[in-house]
Amino acid sequence: MGCASSKRSKQLHGYEDPSVLAAETPFTASEVESLEELYKKLSNSIIADGLIHKEEFHLALFKNRNQRNLFADRVFDLFDLKRNGVIEFGEFVRSLGIFHPNAPVADKIAFAFKLYDLRQTGFIEHEELKEMVLALLHESELVLSEDIVEMIVDKTFSEADTKGDGKIDLEEWKAFVSKYPSLIKNMTLPYLKDISIAFPSFVVLPEIEDSDVRVSVNGD
Flag whether the pTM goes above 0.85: no
pLDDT score at 190: 67
Among 59, 62, 51, 116, smallest CA distance to 85 is for: 51
DSSP letter string over 175-217? HHHHH-GGGGGGG--SSGGG--SSPPP---PPPEEETTEEE--
pLDDT score at 38: 87
Number of domains in the chain: 2
Q: Indicate if 21 and 94 belong to the same structural domain.
A: yes
Q: Which residues pair with 215 in a beta bridge?
A: 208
Kindly state whether residue 134 falls inside one of the protein's structural domains. yes
Q: Indicate if 108 and 164 belong to the same structural domain.
A: yes
The one-character DSSP state at 125 is: E
pLDDT score at 94: 95
Kindly state whether residue 57 falls inside one of the protein's structural domains. yes
Kindly state whether residue 88 falls inside one of the protein's structural domains. yes
> What does the pLDDT look like over 116-126, one tens digit per residue?
999 999 999 99
C-alpha 71/C-alpha 90 separation (Å) is 22
Q: Indicate if 72 and 140 belong to the same structural domain.
A: no
Kindly state whether residue 122 falls inside one of the protein's structural domains. yes
Q: Which residues of the chain have pLDDT under 70?
A: 1-12, 62-68, 189-220
Q: At what angle do helices 146-160 and 170-179 cross, to 10 degrees?
A: 110
Q: Is 14 exposed, middle or buried (0-12, 13-18, 19+ CB in 10 A)?
A: buried
Kindly state whether residue 199 falls inside one of the protein's structural domains. no
pLDDT score at 194: 53
Backbone angles phi, psi at 208, to 5 degrees: -120, 125
Q: Indicate if 90 and 117 belong to the same structural domain.
A: no
Among 208, 203, 220, smallest CA distance to 116 is for: 203
The one-character DSSP state at 88 is: -
Domain range for 48 is 16-98
Side chain identity, residue 90: G
CATH number of the domain within which 152 lies: 1.10.238.10
Q: Indicate if 86 and 109 belong to the same structural domain.
A: no
Kindly state whether residue 42 falls inside one of the protein's structural domains. yes
Kindly state whether residue 119 falls inside one of the protein's structural domains. yes
